[in-house]
Amino acid sequence: MIDLHTHSLFSDGELVPAEHLRRVEILGYSAIAITDHADSSNLDFIIPRIVQAAADLNKYSTTQLLPGIELTHVPPEQFAELTRRARQLGAKIVVGHGETPVEPVRPGTNRAALEAGVDVLAHPGFITLAEAQLAAEKGILIELSGRRGHSLTNGHVAKMALAAGAGLAVNADAHGPGDFLTAKMAETVALGAGLSPEDYLRLRADMAALVAKVAG
């Protein structure tokens, strides 16, 4: 199990990184990214703390903690610069908060995040085929969300990604201990969105390949 989109108490989550990591270790995860919500005001506060947590905790855990960030409700015009700054600060996984149907995300955010080269486009709502094709060209994973509300368009997201040949990821968008996905629930999210068992195996391989790339 891998999850590339979760939140700790450094934004709107409930757990310190140590407990966060321990809870998914018990669930058998091989890797998890903490990607707290950020904009230009707190990017330099959050990322160094998650980087430090990963340096301290990975020595003792069978689950690898990846420091990351979710650029959230930022103006599309800022995505490129904030993505660059996040990587300079040590973020291994940069998530773009996509155009979910349950929040007032600015139009154009999906494309701006993709053009900026994020690693994961989260809950992208009614993503277009052209945007999915851009994700495929750039090797960016498109998220199928396990979170209520964000998951409403999972079927559409899967359809666009499969048509474009884009990689997919199943993420919990966890904010508390009850949100982490079990292996069975992650599979249910994927198959419920219309993926075949073979598609789901490719999804898992794509997530593992991204982890190996950023951790190497």
- Ordered per-residue pLDDT tens for the chain, 216 residues: 999 999 999 999 999 999 999 999 999 999 999 999 999 999 999 999 999 999 999 999 999 999 999 999 999 999 999 999 999 999 999 999 999 999 999 999 999 999 999 999 999 999 999 999 999 999 999 999 999 999 999 999 999 999 999 999 999 999 999 999 999 999 999 999 999 999 999 999 999 999 999 997
First-to-last alpha carbon distance for the chain, in angstroms, is 18
> For position 209, what pLDDT does the model report?
98
CATH of 2-215, one of 3.20.20.140, 1.10.3720.10, 3.40.50.1820, 2.30.30.280: 3.20.20.140
Coil vs helix vs strand at 64: strand
CA distance 111 to 204: 24
For helices 183-192 and 154-164, what crossing angle results, to 10°? 80
pLDDT tens digits, one per residue of 34-46 = 999 999 999 999 9
The rounded Cα 91 to chain-centroid distance in angstroms is 12
Dihedral of CA 30/35/36/42: which sign?
positive
pLDDT tens digits, one per residue of 47-80 = 999 999 999 999 999 999 999 999 999 999 999 9
Pair of tokens at residue 1: 């199990």
> For position 173, what pLDDT does the model report?
98
> For position 216, what pLDDT does the model report?
75
Pair of tokens at residue 146: 């396990």
CA distance 103 to 133: 24
